[in-house]
Amino acid sequence: MERPDDTGCIRQQPGPAKLCADWNDESGWALPAVRGPLPGPLGVALIDVLARHESPGITARRARQGEARGLSKDPIAWVRAAGANVWDADGNRFVDLTAGFGVATIGHTHPAVTAAITAQASRLLHGMGDVFPNDRRIELMRALAEKGDEAGGLTQVILGSSGAEAVEAALKTATLAARRPGVLAFWGGYHGLSYGALAATAYKADFRAPFSAQLGTHVRHLPYGCDPGLIDAFVAGPATCGESIGVILVEPIQGRGGEVVPPAGWLAALREICDRRRLILVFDEVYTGLGRTGRWWASQLEGVRPDVMAVGKSLGGGLPIGAALARPDVMRAWGDSQGEAIHTSTFLGNPVVAAASLATLEVMDGLDIPALARRFEAATRDFFAPHGIPVRGRGGMLGLELGSAGAAARVMGRLLRDGFIVLPSGVLGDILGLTPPLVLSDAQRDAAFQAILHAVAAERAEASPLEATTESQP
């Protein structure tokens, strides 16, 4: 790994020479330290480059228009992270309450993961996907099968490189097993943005609108948590959509949709419908999986067993990976390979990513991630309930209900200036998502709670000055 030079800066070519001004705190468990404007001059220089070369639809342009939406002018540029801390290009230190989109569950750059990556990097960097499997990939299959067994015997695996790929592999598997082309998914669901996954994603209309003509009609949507009777009627006949439904795809708790927990018994009702009508039930556990909700799989919260499951995010410990897991009798629908796999990719089962994932799973077991998630939930509820801020979600996947559309982005901007990284969630942007590395220290967590309380009070005061003077007193 590159080390800072004697001025405390990393130097890389090409690109701006100075990427980091201060590199002193190595621990990962420190409180925030923000010393200047955000972003600082080094961050601005990086974002200038980004704005010139990245598609305007991605980072830079969005942030530069963000002033009107209450975001800071430009995003900070991350240059380093450890534990629950992230450092930006100007040496400001933050506490990350997002785990980088739910990835860094065991903390950023966990030493066991970086050691596994380093060791593997000099052994075998690249394998040959489906043709010549590598040893790390095979080991990972075994480890994943052990975990998948707990979700209901899901012991066979297809690997990929992202959550969206995992969802697509899961949908292909389910479609082969169901032998019917239609898929039922749910409003507010987020399953990724590649074409196959986007067909199922119904998070916000503008994510789909420009491409809707290319998304096909095989996926139909109903409201998340709606009356199971309606779902049963919907899947009952081809008359409803011209494609008979063979697959139900669902997040057991919606993540980007706003940490939405379905009504008690709803997932079990889906299971019952699938059993009765011989449909395949796919759980998208890309976000919820691997301990985040307080159980290894969110499906276990209600004791419901999916037939197929998509996994991603935290599995790679920070490296990109996705996996579809299924019961052997469901996976058998692929048949035997005829020499050329009809589902594969160049980097399938990449050995470095597989080594990182193996190390991550081992660390997760050692830390008892589900227990840490439950502990975080209890602390969050205890803290915010007396202040009248409703908390939803489960385990380490929580949302604070701020009560007005767009409020979360403004609170996010305030918190960033205090050194805490959060994300808005929910279709209306009224939910402040809390999905931190579950290893964050109590001091980091408590400081974050105080900062959030102040930021929410300030937001309320600005939105409604009279009410807030009375309401925001703890």
Ligand X SMILES: Cc1ncc(COP(=O)(O)O)c(C=O)c1O
Restricting to residues 234-273, name those near ligand X by CB under 6 A.
Answer: 251, 255-256
Q: Where are the beta strands (DSSP E) in 347-448?
A: 391-394, 397-401, 420-421, 423-425, 431-434
* CB contact set of 443 (below 8 Å; sequence gap of 6+): 29, 31
Angstrom distance (rounded) from CA 223 to CA 204: 13
Phi, psi torsion values for 218, nearest 5 degrees: -75, -20
Angstrom distance (rounded) from CA 182 to CA 333: 17
Restricting to residues 179-218, name those near ligand X by CB under 6 A.
Answer: 190-192
Restricting to residues 424-443, name those near ligand X by CB under 6 A.
Answer: none
Angstrom distance (rounded) from CA 144 to CA 353: 14
The site for ligand X, by CB under 6 A, has a size of 15
Site string for ligand X, 50-89 (x = CB under 6 A): ----------------------------------------
Out of 31, 46, 158, 167, name the contact with ligand X by CB under 6 A: 167
Q: Give whichever of 291 and 419 is closer to ligand X, judged by the CB atom.
A: 291
Stretch that binds ligand X, among 163-171, 213-221, 384-392, 451-459 (CB under 6 A): 163-171
Restricting to residues 376-405, name those near ligand X by CB under 6 A.
Answer: none
Asked if 94 is part of the footprint of ligand X (rule: CB under 6 A), the reply reads: no
How many residues in the chain?
474
Asked if 162 is part of the footprint of ligand X (rule: CB under 6 A), the reply reads: yes
The amino acid at residue 86 is: V
Identify the bridge partners of residue 231 per DSSP, sorted by sequence position. none
Restricting to residues 332-361, name those near ligand X by CB under 6 A.
Answer: none
Place of tokens 């593997």: 120
Angstrom distance (rounded) from CA 65 to CA 71: 9
Q: Give whichever of 74 and 165 is closer to ligand X, judged by the CB atom.
A: 165
Site string for ligand X, 18-37 (x = CB under 6 A): --------------------
Shortest distance (Å) from residue 328 CB to ligand X: 24
Restricting to residues 279-298, name those near ligand X by CB under 6 A.
Answer: 284, 286-287
Shortest distance (Å) from residue 236 CB to ligand X: 27
Q: Give whichever of 25 and 302 is closer to ligand X, judged by the CB atom.
A: 302
Angstrom distance (rounded) from CA 235 to CA 246: 8
Neighbouring CB atoms inside 10 A of 461's CB total: 15
Q: Give whichever of 294 and 312 is closer to ligand X, judged by the CB atom.
A: 312
Q: Give whichever of 313 and 414 is closer to ligand X, judged by the CB atom.
A: 313
Shortest distance (Å) from residue 273 CB to ligand X: 21
Out of 76, 164, 169, 452, name the contact with ligand X by CB under 6 A: 164
Q: Give whichever of 256 and 414 is closer to ligand X, judged by the CB atom.
A: 256
Q: Give whichever of 255 and 429 is closer to ligand X, judged by the CB atom.
A: 255
Shortest distance (Å) from residue 274 CB to ligand X: 19
Q: Give whichever of 23 and 186 is closer to ligand X, judged by the CB atom.
A: 186
Helices (H), 65-161: 99-102, 111-121, 135-149
Shortest distance (Å) from residue 310 CB to ligand X: 6
Q: In sequence order, what DSSP letters do the residues of 58-104 get, joined into one string? A: SHHHHHHTGGGGT--SS---EEEEEBTEEEETTS-EEEESSHHHHT-
Per-residue CA distances from 280 to 183, 238, 304, 309, 454 (Å): 9, 16, 13, 11, 46
Residues 102 and 314: beta-carbon distance below 8 Å: yes
Site string for ligand X, 309-328 (x = CB under 6 A): ---x----------------
Shortest distance (Å) from residue 232 CB to ligand X: 24
Q: Which residue from 198, 208, 204 is spatially nearest to 164, judged by alpha carbons?
A: 198
Q: Give whichever of 293 and 380 is closer to ligand X, judged by the CB atom.
A: 293
* CB contact set of 191 (below 8 Å; sequence gap of 6+): 163, 164, 167, 185, 197, 198, 200, 201, 249, 251, 284, 286, 310
Q: Give whichever of 285 and 459 is closer to ligand X, judged by the CB atom.
A: 285
Stretch that binds ligand X, among 20-28, 62-70, 156-164, 353-361 (CB under 6 A): 156-164
Q: Which helix (H) or strand (E) holds 157?
A: strand 156-160
Query: Residue 219, SS3?
Result: strand
Closest residue to ligand X in the complex (CB): 163
Residues 284 and 250: beta-carbon distance below 8 Å: yes
Neighbouring CB atoms inside 10 A of 97's CB total: 26
Instruction: Give contact residues for ligand X (rule: CB under 6 A).
Output: 101, 162-164, 167, 190-192, 251, 255-256, 284, 286-287, 312
